[in-house]
Structure 1
Amino acid sequence: MLSRVRAFFRSRMPCSAAVSVPCIVLPLPFGELSVGRVGGWGRRGGRHEYGTTSGRARSRRAPTLPGFVIRNLHNCLLAVLPLPEWCVASAAALPLAAPTPPNRGTMKRHYLLASAALAAALTLTACSASDDALSGTGGAAGNTGAAADGPAVDGGTLKIGLDRPFAKLDPADGTLIQMPMMVLANALYDPLMVNGDNGTVQPYLAKSFTPDADATVWTLDLREGVTFSDGKPLDAQAVADHVARLAKPESKCACALDAAAIATTAVTGPTTVAFTLKAPDAAFPNLFTRSLGYVSEAPAGDSPAVGSGPYTVESVQPGVSVTLARNPAYWGTKGHADKLVYRVLSDADSRYQSLRSGDTDLIWTETPGQLKQAAADGLRTATGPGSTSTVVFNTKAAPFDDVRVRQAVQYAIDREALEKVVFLGQGAVSDGPIGSRSPYRTAGAYPAHDTARARALLAEAGHPDLAFDYLVDSRPEAQQRATVLQQMLGEAGIRMTIKPMDNASLGTAMLQRKFQVLDFITSMFGDTDTALGSLYLPNSPYNFMGWTDPEAAKAITEGRASTDPAKRSAAYGQAARRVVDEAPMAFLTENTVGFLSTAKVGGLPDLSKRTVLNVSPATLWVKR
């Protein structure tokens, strides 16, 4: 068994898609897998170094290990608590099979990383940039897209591999608006607003989205002449009806919580809608980049909802495949491909091999080994930071009600080493709740790795022999990260016991706050206010930490209410500093994710500056 574990990590097994808590992980029965340390401890140049066993990776395939299935808990938890749309969910079946591809470098420090189970202006006006937000150009580092594509080619079939199944083709379904699935949503529906570079929000179907002086009343002005695929007009009344449909509990849309912020919706003209909010919200347009913005006619029974997008449904097998045909009556620029064929390929390794063989033209990946190997395999990339890995503390119960204990854990973690081991240098360290691409990011120091400082804080707090349980789901990446953290914390005298569990139980523990510390991945989806307001306001249902800080709450509320970008940035920066100083969460890494394609796909966009990795398949073409 030990040799199988060693082979697994040497071959750099594909990690699963990022899964935010709460999602559901259903482990399949498998035998017990031992956990131990293969390598030794060591120092080089006076500092600890982390890594796997030394030596070159073996080129042979590692043995196939048993797998597990991840399913979205979105609808399961709605009866208890609707989940925010920034939760990243994976519905990928992920057997722990052999490799994509081996890592041949020698990583730092000889630890075994074994685990028990091997994812600008507030008045927004339409311009050419809005179209670029769903297309763009390639060429940035890590993005080998459209820089040298040449003229676009019309015709043919574009084959796309999906990393998760879908229940229905309706914007109300949370699966459809997750980043890996928006390549399907954007074929059927046109969003009112889109996320552009560096956290900006730009109009798409909208011409403008304008606030009053205090950002309490927002007026949406639509493009004229837009129609649904059945010929009916997509006008102001259609927008109002769509928002009203998704706001109802029976829609089971996570966006119902967003819609609850709207006091009244008024159709003030054929193409204008006025939204009056219950409280000022300068980030309100961001809500319309997701389900609320994918305007659709209500579906009849199990039929797909009717949208205004460049493609329409030709055939569908829910959870298996869907074939789309070019919409002959599309109001905008026609899609390049005649047809789009989507197949659900939940296994990360199988999806990558399908791309390499040419059976598939485009896939989504969150697997560091695949991102590292793509260029050598002649593949093209469109990637960016898509999620943040964190550690969440229960601040309502001892010992983590003491800020010194939380800070000690911060100091005990070497984020740079963690990123190199788990993400193979494909990501970056995270230094707080505001992502690296946000326009509201401000300079601020994050506690550097300092084992001595960690020990001193624990002694001061009366916990020199701190011990706690760490809840984590069964994904291999999560298990690997937990094992690295366990070893790092051990250097500071902290005994961390890893408690793998299915995500149904994990979600319940989180919602009921029956945990000490847990593994949490949050998407970098949308406006900064989404993360700050949802996670850190004391009255938010998503403040899983139970953290209350009047100074942070005041800053977040002021930032949300301000239409002045400079004041908003200052307020959010103040809130972020409080989060880092008070440490209700410890921030680990920003994780690179995105699309891979074969060389024959043209139009692949540059996503390196995006916070939301959003692609319209209508802008892609197949070279012949």
Structure 2
Amino acid sequence: MTDSPPHRPHALRPFALAVTAAVSTLALTACGGALVTAAADPGAAAPVSTSADPGASTAPTDVITYGHQQEPPCVHGGWIEQGYLSHQVLDALVSLGDDGAVEPWLATDWDVSDDDLTWTFHLREEPTFSDGTPVDAQAIVDNVDYWLEGGNSTAKVWLDDYVEDATAVDDRTVEIALSDPYPLLAENLTQPYFGIQSPTALATRSAEENCTSPIGSGPFTLTEWNRGTNIVLDRRDDYDWAPATAATQGPAKAERIDWRFLADPTARTAALRAGELDAIYDVQAFEWENLQDEGYETHLFNTPGRPQQISFNTTRAPFDDKRVRQAFAYSLDRESVVDSVGKGVIPYEGNGSVGQATDGYSQAAADRYSFDPDEADRLLDDAGWTQRAADGTRTKDGERLHIEFPYAGGRTINQDGAAIIQGLQQQAEAVGFDVTLIPFPPSEAAAGAYTGPDEYDLSIGYWTSINAGILHVIWRQEVGGEPNTSNSAFYFDDELESLIREANSTTDPAEQDALYQQAQETIADEALSIGVYDRLSTLAASPRLHGLRQENSQGGPVFHDAYIAD
């Protein structure tokens, strides 16, 4: 029996099956270059085919062909799109059950010391990495060290303020020592960013190789990457340690996953209808009900953590003035725009800190700014923006109330999201803001475009997580002694950070939620961030595909139990 700090299970994240019901600016470990695959010697590497024809390989008889919307720079890293892929290859210490409770995986059980500063994980005996390396205590220690050293930037920012070190007590026992109590540690370790890699691979291969083709203990191995086209995942026949959330134990049912990259949502949907794909990711809202009516199975996961939200750059005019930030928030009828574009599928979210699927959610923060153009007018007048140009834009001392609003189209923002942003632009302009939208491509986003304090007035983005501890990741002031670039409002406040830290270390769930809610309400009162819509993870699958499910921490597809049958 697992002995861990008191924590209530999450409310079940909603997902839907076909016809029965209808009703997702990150730290990123980037790498590039050609894919390599581990040979018998995990320190050696063999080039993999770069053919543009995904059918060039000899195909086994049971292949699932899946269409995804984005190709990440590499497989393992700190971005959710990488987590979707790496979860097929890398197992974790623990998993998140369907009821939101933490369940065993590579660890059979765990316990916490009386002072809440030492976590002890006990490991299963049978798991091995695909290179033959045992999944033992030293392997876990090597992975914790790798995270803390920055090998995975997202893993680091979750752990570095709390985890001091990890120690192998014996081959099957690992101790993790903390500097402060961190009751959500096990829960956070269920995220795919914490997939366990072969220590031999970490020690003998380059960071680029381990990022591009990680070696794990999971049900599939990555055997081929045709850049711009697809990734091939082949079944590992000796796999027999799936988490309790799996429908069956033993190897995956499918021999191969052909993971294709199709950025155009219309093309993905057409390929599904034509039978060229067995499943697709990121279903457009207007197609949701159509696909259900046509007999396709649909899955929807409302991702907890930070929703799609707009942050105000508080370091430069005009949003260095709280009144102007509040006026912008009041100028938007966000709910009507989301409902219009989202067709009842995309949920409106008013809270800019965490979404409604997250424990410790504050409805008061979500309700802080309702649509009130009269109040927006009053605040702008009070802030001195009293004149208007010929086109209706407000001016002050001869300067237009100009707003630059970049967004990463095709990466952070999909087509439905872009339509929502355009609707908000029109509403803000009706009050007197001059909003310039600046869509930029995924390549620029991967290179860190529009992340500095001199590069934008508004920023939109999300950060998926399981709990409100994401507040610490986003609103802390420093990471490793450097300014926290994930704080897209550039708002650094000792009292807010102390409040979030207190919440992170509070072991009573009710007290923890109250502290997290207080932090969200501070963020809302200061008009630092306003919510727009919940980030969703959506799938549609052919009636021929059975056993597909979504992972419970991030909502990515899980193919271990999936198979094709007419």
Normalising by the smaller structure, the TM-score range is 0.7 to 0.9
Other structure's SS at 1:593 match:
strand
Q: How far is 1:411 from its partner? A: 1.2
Confirm or deny that 1:362 pairs with 2:279.
yes
Please say if residues 220 and 272 of structure 1, whose CA atoms lie closer than 8 Å, have aligned partners that are also in contact. Answer: yes
Q: What is the rounded CA distance, in whole Å, between the counterparts of 2:421 and 2:477 in structure 1?
A: 28
Structure 1 match to 2:26: none
Deviation digits for residues 374-396 of structure 1 (CA, Å, limit 9, x no counterpart): 21332111112247222211112
Match of 2:469 among 504, 508, 529: 529
Q: What is the rounded CA distance, in whole Å, between the counterparts of 1:280 and 1:293 in structure 2?
A: 23
Stretch deviating more after TM superposition (366-375 or 452-461): 366-375
Structure 2 match to 1:489: 428
Q: TM-score, normalised by structure 1?
A: 0.69
Match of 1:565 among 506, 509, 526: 509
**Cα RMSD between the aligned structures?**
3.4
Matched AA of 1:493: G
Confirm or deny that 1:430 pairs with 2:349.
yes
Match of 1:406 among 322, 325, 329: 325
Q: CA 1:219 to 1:318, structure 2 compared with 1: closer, same or farther past 3 Å?
A: farther
Confirm or deny that 1:616 pairs with 2:558.
yes
Structure 2 match to 1:192: 93
Q: How far is 1:234 from its partner? A: 0.6
Structure 2 match to 1:347: 264
Matched AA of 2:404: Y
Matched AA of 2:155: C
Q: CA 1:497 to 1:165, structure 2 compared with 1: closer, same or farther past 3 Å?
A: closer
Q: CA 1:273 to 1:499, structure 2 compared with 1: closer, same or farther past 3 Å?
A: same
Q: What is the rounded CA distance, in whole Å, between the counterparts of 1:199 and 1:454 in structure 2?
A: 40
Q: How far is 1:354 from its partner? A: 1.5
Q: CA 1:138 to 1:574, structure 2 compared with 1: closer, same or farther past 3 Å?
A: farther
Confirm or deny that 1:449 pairs with 2:371.
yes
Confirm or deny that 1:296 pairs with 2:296.
no
Q: CA 1:305 to 1:515, structure 2 compared with 1: closer, same or farther past 3 Å?
A: closer
1:364-379 equivalences under 5 Å are: 364-379=281-296
Q: CA 1:585 to 1:443, structure 2 compared with 1: closer, same or farther past 3 Å?
A: closer
Match of 2:490 among 529, 546, 564: 546
Q: What is the rounded CA distance, in whole Å, between the counterparts of 2:99 and 2:332 in structure 1?
A: 28
Q: What is the rounded CA distance, in whole Å, between the counterparts of 1:556 and 1:455 in structure 2?
A: 34
Q: CA 1:139 to 1:192, structure 2 compared with 1: closer, same or farther past 3 Å?
A: farther
Q: How far is 1:316 from its partner? A: 4.3
Q: How far is 1:523 from its partner? A: 3.1
Q: What is the rounded CA distance, in whole Å, between the counterparts of 1:313 and 1:290 in structure 2?
A: 16
Matched AA of 1:348: P
Please say if residues 70 and 261 of structure 2, whose CA atoms lie closer than 8 Å, have aligned partners that are also in contact. Answer: yes
Structure 2 match to 1:123: 4
1:151-550 equivalences under 5 Å are: 156-169=62-75, 171=76, 173-174=77-78, 178-179=80-81, 182-197=83-98, 200-249=101-150, 251=151, 253-258=153-158, 260-261=160-161, 262-285=163-186, 286-299=188-201, 300=205, 302=209, 304-332=213-241, 333=249, 334-386=251-303, 388-432=307-351, 433-444=353-364, 445-464=367-386, 465=394, 467-473=401-407, 475=409, 477=416, 479-501=418-440, 510-515=450-455, 517-530=457-470, 532-539=471-478, 541=484, 542-550=486-494
Please say if residues 191 and 554 of structure 2, whose CA atoms lie closer than 8 Å, have aligned partners that are also in contact. Answer: no
Other structure's SS at 1:428 match:
coil
1:22-33 equivalences under 5 Å are: none
Q: What is the rounded CA distance, in whole Å, between the counterparts of 2:219 and 2:441 in structure 1?
A: 39
Q: CA 1:138 to 1:224, structure 2 compared with 1: closer, same or farther past 3 Å?
A: farther
Deviation digits for residues 449-484 of structure 1 (CA, Å, limit 9, x no counterpart): 111111122222323436122222363555533332
Structure 1 match to 2:50: none
Q: What is the rounded CA distance, in whole Å, between the counterparts of 1:187 and 1:508 in structure 2?
A: 27
Please say if residues 470 and 516 of structure 1, whose CA atoms lie closer than 8 Å, have aligned partners that are also in contact. Answer: yes
Please say if residues 5 and 507 of structure 2, whose CA atoms lie closer than 8 Å, have aligned partners that are also in contact. Answer: no
Structure 2 segments unaligned to the other structure (5+ residues): 24-60, 242-248, 387-393, 396-400, 410-414
Structure 2 match to 1:28: none
Confirm or deny that 1:585 pairs with 2:529.
yes
Matched AA of 1:452: D
Matched AA of 2:403: D
Q: CA 1:163 to 1:594, structure 2 compared with 1: closer, same or farther past 3 Å?
A: same
Q: CA 1:336 to 1:511, structure 2 compared with 1: closer, same or farther past 3 Å?
A: same
Please say if residues 339 and 348 of structure 2, whose CA atoms lie closer than 8 Å, have aligned partners that are also in contact. Answer: no
Structure 1 match to 2:500: 556
Q: What is the rounded CA distance, in whole Å, between the counterparts of 2:561 and 2:371 in structure 1?
A: 45
Matched AA of 1:469: I
Q: What is the rounded CA distance, in whole Å, between the counterparts of 1:318 and 1:499 in structure 2?
A: 27
Please say if residues 138 and 605 of structure 1, whose CA atoms lie closer than 8 Å, have aligned partners that are also in contact. Answer: no
Matched AA of 1:621: Y
1:51-66 equivalences under 5 Å are: none
Deviation digits for residues 149-206 of structure 1 (CA, Å, limit 9, x no counterpart): xxxxxx832222232335555x3x346xx25x54543332212233445765443222
Q: How far is 1:577 from its partner? A: 1.0
1:14-53 equivalences under 5 Å are: none
Structure 1 segments unaligned to the other structure (5+ residues): 1-120, 144-154
Q: CA 1:554 to 1:481, structure 2 compared with 1: closer, same or farther past 3 Å?
A: same
Count residues with an aligned counterpart.
480
Q: What is the rounded CA distance, in whole Å, between the counterparts of 2:451 and 2:3 in structure 1?
A: 34
Deviation digits for residues 193-241 of structure 1 (CA, Å, limit 9, x no counterpart): 3344576544322223433345433222222322223443211111112
Please say if residues 195 and 612 of structure 1, whose CA atoms lie closer than 8 Å, have aligned partners that are also in contact. Answer: no
Q: What is the rounded CA distance, in whole Å, between the counterparts of 2:511 and 2:448 in structure 1?
A: 38
1:70-85 equivalences under 5 Å are: none
Q: How far is 1:315 from its partner? A: 4.3
